[in-house]
Amino acid sequence: MSRQLLVPLLDQVRFKREQLKDRLPTLPGTPLLFLSPFFLLFGVFLAIPVFYTFYLSFFTFQGVSTEALFAIDVGAYQIMIPEMANLQYVGLDNYRRLLTDSVFYQSLLNTAIIFVVQVPLMVALALGLALVLNAAYTRYKGIFRSLLLLPVSANTVAYSAVFIVIAAEGGIADIALGAIGIPPIDWISDGFWARNLVAFMSVWRWTGYNMIIILAGLQTISPSLYEAAEIGGATKIQKFRHITLPQLKPIMLFVFVTTTIGVFKKFAEPMIVISSGGPINETRTIVYYIWQVAFQNLELGYGSALTVALVAIIMTLSLIQFKVS
């Protein structure tokens, strides 16, 4: 069929489709109907658990309840919905206990130390690698991007176990340090180095991920800005300071906030280090402590109060980062 005949035929089809659309009744709330699966999943798997955690923080858990939350009698059939837990209201007692809990403060300190080591090191490495991959002289950029991003796909428990093997006494880390004249380091049993090992694990895994984000930001900077700076006689350091960093500010803020959240959610790495003989007082993070309280000691109320406190801390740090940037 020739193009001259096809175009009028397509126009007729579009016209009839519009006529049919105008004749069909308009149902109110149709967009909400299509959005309802998202809201349903969001409510069941996120909103309800969040509100229930906050609610639970004012109670003490006394075992699984046998009482009925409500029952439906339909004649021959009875449907009973049981309560999830037997709870005793204690008001703000869980939060008062939190304020005097030395283990909570120690686990929070451990998390803060890991944060201070991990975040600046990871962001600096990610920024440096992104600058190298964005440079015009770098070849095989696709290969390097893939290799640097590969650690993100590693299973958390698996790569943590590999790091334990590398850092074990007489392992690859000790051999490499001995080759350059540095005595062996007790990475696992020594509290200081065990905390640093937890931070180095995450640096290895997430540097490539942050590098890709920063690299995407670098590629959005207009080359005309650098050309104008070169005409003005700006050095590479001046271009980096006055063009690259200001243009990357939103990207760097995103990286800092997401990395901060990731550090304060850290659980698997310290668990592997502790189970391998690491000192629990120096390597226990706040999330690991919440897991101990809630699921080992079955103090779900106090564990919920710790969770609420953790969310408040992360929100405060995120707001500070927004203000500073």
SS3 84: coil
pLDDT (0 to 100) of residue 264? 92
* Location of structure tokens 């858990």: 61
Contact call for residues 124 and 256 (beta carbons, < 8 A) = no
Domains and CATH numbers, the chain: 95-324 (1.10.3720.10)
Residue 107 and residue 289 in contact, taking contact as beta carbons nearer than 8 Å? yes
Residue 36 pLDDT:
85
Say what the pLDDT of residue 33 is.
81
Global pTM reads 0.80
Specify the pLDDT at position 197. 92
Contact call for residues 264 and 313 (beta carbons, < 8 A): yes
Q: Are 126 and 234 in contact (CB under 8 A)?
A: no
List of residues 6+ apart from 72 with CB closer than 8 A: 78, 79, 80, 81
pLDDT of 86: 75
Q: Which pLDDT belongs to residue 45?
A: 86
- Residue 35's pLDDT is 84
Asked if residue 197 lies in contact with residue 173, where contact means CB atoms within 8 angstroms, the answer is: no
Q: What pLDDT was estimated at residue 128? A: 92
The full DSSP string for 172-197 is HHHHHHHHTTPPP--TTTSHHHHHHH
List per-block mean pLDDT (blocks of 10 residues) for the chain, which spans 325 residues.
62 75 70 84 86 89 68 68 75 91 93 93 93 84 86 87 88 86 87 91 92 91 87 86 89 91 91 89 93 89 93 90 81
